[in-house]
C-alpha cells in the first residue's frame, strides 16, 4: 500500500506533479536552473487570437478600460504644474469569478479538459480558487480547492473566509487548512487520491491566459488615446499577473511601455507564522510573496515556473497597507467604483507615480477585483481593530505591519518606494551560478541570465 506519511508523499513530489500536469517538463530540466523559457511557453499550442477565442467562450475577458478622471484631477491638484499623468483602470472585476484570475483558470482548465482530466485541484487562498471553481463548473469538471484559512484558534480573516465561500458556491470541495507550508503535502495527497489535474498558477497555460489582458490594454488605449500607454502597473505576488500582462503588451506592439510591479509592504511578518497569520490585512499582492518570487521563481508546485517577473519588470514599488485602503475609499468616493482592496495596490502606486509624470502621459492600472462581504476595507480593518491593531490617521511612513495601519491624513502622503531591482537581479544570478557545475558557466548561461534578469550580458559575465 502507498505510504501517505509526510516524508513519503514529499519524496513522490516530482512524480505526482508530472502525472497531474499533462505537460512534459523533462526537456527543461537538463540543467539545474537554465532552460529555454520561450520553448516552455511554446508548449501552449494556441496563438493569442485562439486564446482570446477560448476565453470568449468561457465568458472571460474583454473587460472595460475606465479612465479615472477624478483621481487624475486629484493627482494634478497635488502635482507640480504640467505633471499628473492620466490614470486608467482595467475593470477585471467584471470577469465571471470577479477577478483577472478567471483568465488564468480558463486556459488551464481548457488544457485539463483536452488532456482528459475529470477534475482539477488547486492550492490557493486567493481569488484563483474561485476562478478555478467557476471555470470547472462551466466545464463539468470536479474541483478541489486546498486553502490556508485558519490560525490555531480556528479564526480566519474575513477576506479568506469569503474566498472559501466563493469556491463552495461554484461547487468545489474546499479543504480548509490551518497555517503552514505543509499545505503542499495535503495538496499532493489530494492529487494522488483523485488523479485530477494540478491547476497550478505557474504552468505556461496559466501565464498565456493572462496575455490577452495586456493585449486588450493596448487595443483599448489606442482607441482612447491614439497610442500605447507609457506605464502599466501590475499588482505583484507570485508573478503571473505581471509576466502574462507584459507578454501580452509586447505581442500587441507596446515595446516602449514601462512595466511596473507593485506590492503591499508586509516586512516583518512571517508567512508561516501562526500568530502573524491574522495580522496581515492583505492576503495577496504583498511582499511575503512578491519579493521571494521575484528573486527566485522556481519555488512553486511546478518543475519550472512560467511566471518570471525579472524578465519583464522595469520597476518594483512598495505601498503601505493604509495607503491602499485609502485609495480603495477614494476609488469609491471619487469614481463611484467599489472594488476589493488587493486590486487597488497598483492604483495607489499609479496615484503617486502620476504626480511625477507629465500630464500628457498615461498610466494603466491593469486590474480591479470584486468587492463583497469580507473583502471590503471595513471587514478587514474592523477585524484587525478587534484584534488589537491600531487604525490611525497620519504619516504612511510610520506604519508597522502587524501593529498598526496608518490611513494617510492627506492624499499627498501616498508615495512609492522602490525595491532595489539590481539586488534582486544579482541575487538570482549568484544563486544560478552556485547551482551550476563548475566550468559550465559559458555563453549559454550568460545569455540565459541576461534574459532572465534584463541585465546586460557584460554585467552578467562580470558577476560570474
Partner 1 sequence: MTSLAGNWVQIHNIVLRPDQRPETLPAETRAVPLELRVKGWQITGRAEIGEEIRIRTVLDREQTGTLIAVNPEYGHDFGRAIPELLAAGDEVVAMMRNTPKEG
Binding site residues, partner 1, CB under 8 A: 5-6, 70, 73-74, 77, 119, 142-144, 149-150, 152, 156, 158, 161-162, 165, 168, 171-182, 185-186, 193-194, 270, 272-275, 325-326, 329-330, 332-334, 373-374, 376-383, 385, 391-393, 407-408, 410-411
Q: How far is the CB of 200 from partner 1 (least distance, A)?
A: 20
Map residue 353 onto helix, strand or coil: helix
Q: How far from 462 is each of 40, 214, 295, CA to CA, in Å? A: 28, 34, 19
Smallest distance, partner 1 to C-beta of residue 330, A: 5
Rg (alpha carbons) of the chain, rounded to whole number: 21
CA distances in angstroms from 287 to 239, 290, 419, 424, listed in the order given:
12, 4, 10, 13
Q: Name the residue nearer to partner 1 (CB basis): 36 or 358.
A: 358
Shortest separation between residue 385's beta carbon and partner 1, angstroms: 8
CA distances to 91, 224, 252, 442 from 63, in Å: 6, 14, 17, 45
Cβ 333 to partner 1, closest distance in Å? 4
Residue closer to partner 1 by CB (options 387, 456) is 387
Query: Cβ closer to partner 1: 393 or 457?
Result: 393
User: CA-CA distance, 200 to 198, in Å (whole number)?
Assistant: 5
Q: Is the Cβ of residue 49 or residue 360 nearer to partner 1 in the bound state?
A: 360
Pick the closest to residue 218 from 69, 342, 65 (CA basis). Answer: 65
Nearer CB in complex with partner 1: 216/301: 301
Quote the distance between the C-alpha of residue 16 and its chain's center: 25
Closer residue to partner 1, CB minimum distance, 178 or 427 = 178
**What is the rounded distance in angstroms from the CA atom of residue 8 to the CA atom of residue 3?**
6
208 Rama class: left (phi>0) / alpha (psi -120 to 50) / beta? alpha
Q: Residue 41, Cβ neighbours under 10 Å: how many? A: 17
Q: Which is nearer to partner 1, 120 or 294 (CB)?
A: 120
154: left (phi over 0), alpha (psi -120 to 50) or beta: left
CB of 165 to partner 1, least distance (A): 5
Taking the complex as a whole, how short is the minimal distance between the CB of residue 417 and partner 1, in angstroms? 21
The angle subtended at Cα 403 by Cα 400 and Cα 408, nearest 5°, is: 55
Instruction: Tell me the closest approach of the beta carbon of residue 303 to partner 1, in angstroms.
Output: 21
Among residues 165 and 250, whose Cβ is nearest to partner 1? 165
Cβ at position 202, least distance to partner 1 in Å: 22
Residue 434 neighbours by CB under 8 Å, 6+ apart: none
Amino acid at each position: 500500500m502507498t505510504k501517505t506519511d509526510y516524508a513519503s508523499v514529499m519524496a513522490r513530489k516530482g512524480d505526482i506533479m508530472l502525472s497531474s500536469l499533462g505537460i512534459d517538463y523533462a526537456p527543461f530540466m537538463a540543467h539545474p536552473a537554465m532552460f529555454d523559457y520561450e520553448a516552455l511557453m511554446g508548449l501552449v499550442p494556441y496563438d493569442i487570437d485562439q486564446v482570446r477565442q477560448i476565453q470568449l467562450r468561457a465568458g472571460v475577458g474583454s473587460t472595460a478600460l475606465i479612465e479615472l478622471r477624478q483621481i487624475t484631477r486629484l493627482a494634478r491638484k497635488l502635482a507640480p504644474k504640467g505633471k499628473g499623468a492620466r490614470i486608467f483602470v482595467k475593470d477585471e472585476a467584471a470577469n465571471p469569478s470577479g477577478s483577472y484570475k478567471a483568465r488564468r483558470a480558463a486556459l488551464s482548465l481548457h488544457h485539463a479538459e483536452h488532456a482528459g482530466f475529470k477534475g482539477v485541484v488547486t492550492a490557493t487562498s486567493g481569488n484563483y480558487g474561485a476562478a478555478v471553481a467557476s471555470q470547472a463548473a462551466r466545464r463539468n469538471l470536479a474541483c478541489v480547492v486546498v486553502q490556508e484559512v485558519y490560525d490555531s484558534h480556528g479564526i480566519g480573516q474575513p477576506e479568506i473566509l469569503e474566498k472559501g465561500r466563493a469556491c463552495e458556491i461554484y461547487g468545489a470541495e474546499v479543504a480548509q487548512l490551518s497555517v503552514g507550508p505543509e499545505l503542499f503535502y495535503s495538496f499532493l495527497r489530494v492529487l494522488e487520491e483523485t488523479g485530477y489535474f494540478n491547476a497550478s498558477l505557474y504552468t505556461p497555460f496559466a501565464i498565456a491566459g493572462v496575455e490577452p489582458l495586456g493585449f486588450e490594454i493596448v487595443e483599448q488605449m489606442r482607441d482612447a488615446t491614439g497610442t500605447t500607454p507609457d506605464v502599466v502597473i501590475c499588482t505583484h505576488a507570485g508573478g503571473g499577473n505581471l509576466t502574462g500582462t507584459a507578454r501580452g503588451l509586447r505581442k500587441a506592439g507596446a515595446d516602449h511601455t514601462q512595466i511596473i510591479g507593485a506590492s503591499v509592504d508586509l516586512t516583518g511578518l512571517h508567512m508561516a507564522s501562526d500568530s502573524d497569520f491574522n495580522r496581515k490585512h492583505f492576503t495577496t499582492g504583498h511582499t511575503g510573496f512578491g519579493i521571494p518570487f521575484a528573486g527566485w521563481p522556481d519555488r512553486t508546485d511546478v518543475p519550472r515556473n512560467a511566471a518570471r517577473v525579472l524578465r519583464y519588470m522595469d520597476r518594483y514599488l512598495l505601498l503601505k497597507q493604509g495607503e491602499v485602503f485609502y485609495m480603495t475609499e477614494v476609488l469609491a468616493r471619487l469614481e463611484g467604483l467599489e472594488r476589493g482592496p488587493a486590486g487597488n495596490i497598483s492604483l495607489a502606486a499609479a496615484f503617486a507615480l502620476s504626480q511625477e509624470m507629465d500630464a500628457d502621459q498615461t498610466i494603466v492600472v491593469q486590474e480591479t477585483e470584486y468587492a463583497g462581504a469580507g473583502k471590503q476595507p471595513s471587514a478587514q480593518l474592523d477585524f484587525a481593530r478587534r484584534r488589537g491593531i491600531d487604525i490611525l490617521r497620519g504619516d504612511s511612513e510610520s506604519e508597522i505591519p502587524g501593529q498598526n495601519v496608518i490611513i494617510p491624513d492627506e492624499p499627498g502622503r501616498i508615495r512609492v518606494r522602490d525595491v532595489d531591482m539590481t539586488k534582486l537581479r544579482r541575487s538570482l544570478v549568484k544563486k544560478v551560478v552556485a547551482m551550476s557545475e563548475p566550468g559550465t558557466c559559458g555563453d549559454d548561461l550568460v545569455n540565459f541570465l541576461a534574459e532572465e534578469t534584463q541585465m546586460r550580458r557584460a554585467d552578467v559575465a562580470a558577476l560570474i
